[in-house]
Amino acid sequence: MAEKRYGMVIDMRRCIACQACSVACKAEMRVPLEVFATWVKIVEKGKYPNAQRFALPRLCNNCGNPICTRNCPTKATYQREDGIVEIDQHRCIGCKYCIASCPYDVRYYNPLKNIVQKCYWCQHRVDAGLLPACVEGCPTRAMIFGDVDDPRSEVSRLLASNATQVLKKEMQTEPFVFYIGADETAMSNVEEEINYFTEPVYFPKVRL
């Protein structure tokens, strides 16, 4: 079998911020309540009447040089030959260090399974020759998935013919989710600081 390196292009010229990818992901991956593997961040810039909304679908970048695999103490997080970063759910001890390490905050702790999970580009579907659920669900075909090493694939053609961006290039993680025409503000940290004094930071229940 030929070498493969999966990648994704998200074309923001087409994205209508409908959240179909978030919903498709929730259903396909059985993502529990309150946590997300894929979501569309939306920011609003300017004042009425000169205001504009910008969206940014977010998911694991399945990085070329991921910090999560480097910092996982048990190698529960590992990278497949084709670039997909996987979590072995029988090996993960739930130390959550990977959540703290990932520069993109795309990992979550699954309270039903007591392990950490994230987007794996639906490797079960990809291995069966299908597309990831979010790509399949996108009504405007803004998400394109494929082999970036194959020059004839649609991702390769888009990458070759467009100006693309990745999130937080300075982290040296080599993200493999490429954006076309993403907004700079939507790409940076514009969220409010979280006030953890109102959150339980001490001793949740001990799980055995």
Partner 1 sequence: MEHGDVNVVYTVEHQLPLIMYIGQYFFFTGLSAGSFVISVIATLLGRKEFKPIGKITAILAPILLVVAPLNLIADLEQPLRFWHLMVYYNWTSPITYGSFLLTAYPIVGIIYAFMVYTDRQTPAKVLGILGIPLAISVHGYTGFILALAKARSLWNTAAMPTIFIISAMVSGIGLVVIIAAIRLKWFNKEASPETREQDKRLILQLAQFMAYTIMMDLFLIVSDVLVLLTAHSDALEAGMLILTGNFAPLFVGVEIILGAIIPMILVLGPTRKSLTAVVVASILVNIGVYAMRFVMVIGGQTIPLS
State the residues that interact with partner 1 by CB under 8 A: 34-36, 39-47, 51, 53, 58, 67, 70-76, 91-97, 99-106, 108-109, 114-116, 168, 171, 185, 188-197, 199-204, 206-208
Query: What is the secondary structure of 169-190 as a DSSP string?
Result: GGG----SEEEES--HHHHS--
* CA-to-CA separations, 161 to 18, 90, 154, 164, in angstroms, rounded: 26, 42, 11, 9
Q: Are 40 and 19 in contact (CB under 8 A)?
A: yes
Residue 72 binds ligand SF4, judged by CB under 6 A: yes
Pick one of 21, 29, 85, 138: the residue that binds ligand SF4 (CB under 6 A): 85
Residue ranges of the alpha helices (H) in the chain? Answer: 20-29, 67-71, 97-101, 123-127, 133-137, 154-161, 184-187
Query: Any bridge partners for residue 116, and if so which?
Result: 109
Q: Can you give the length of the chain in residues?
A: 208
**CB of 61 or CB of 153, closer to partner 1:** 61
Among the listed residues 6, 36, 104, 108, the single contact to ligand SF4 using CB under 6 A: 104
Residue from 37, 102, 122, 158 touching ligand SF4 (CB under 6 A): that is 102
Interface residue with ligand SF4 among 20, 98, 142, 182 (CB under 6 A) is 98
Task: Choose the one of ligand SF4, partner 1, none that binds residue 63, judging by a C-beta under 5 to 8 angstroms depending on kind.
Answer: ligand SF4
The contact pattern for ligand SF4, residues 6-45, with x = CB under 6 A and - = no contact, is ----------------------------------------
How buried is residue 52: exposed, middle or buried, by Cβ count under 10 Å (0-12/13-18/19+)?
exposed
SS3 of residue 144 by DSSP: strand
Cβ 152 vs Cβ 129: under 8 Å: no
Cβ proximity of 167 and 104 under 8 Å: yes
R_g of the chain, CA atoms, integer Å: 18
Stretch of 43-51, 61-69, 152-160, 197-205 lying at the interface with ligand SF4 (CB under 6 A): 61-69
Q: Which positions from 133 through 192 interact with ligand SF4, judged by CB under 6 A? A: 173
Interface positions with ligand SF4 (CB under 6 A): 60-63, 66-68, 72, 74, 76-77, 85, 87, 92-98, 102, 104, 106-107, 116, 118, 173
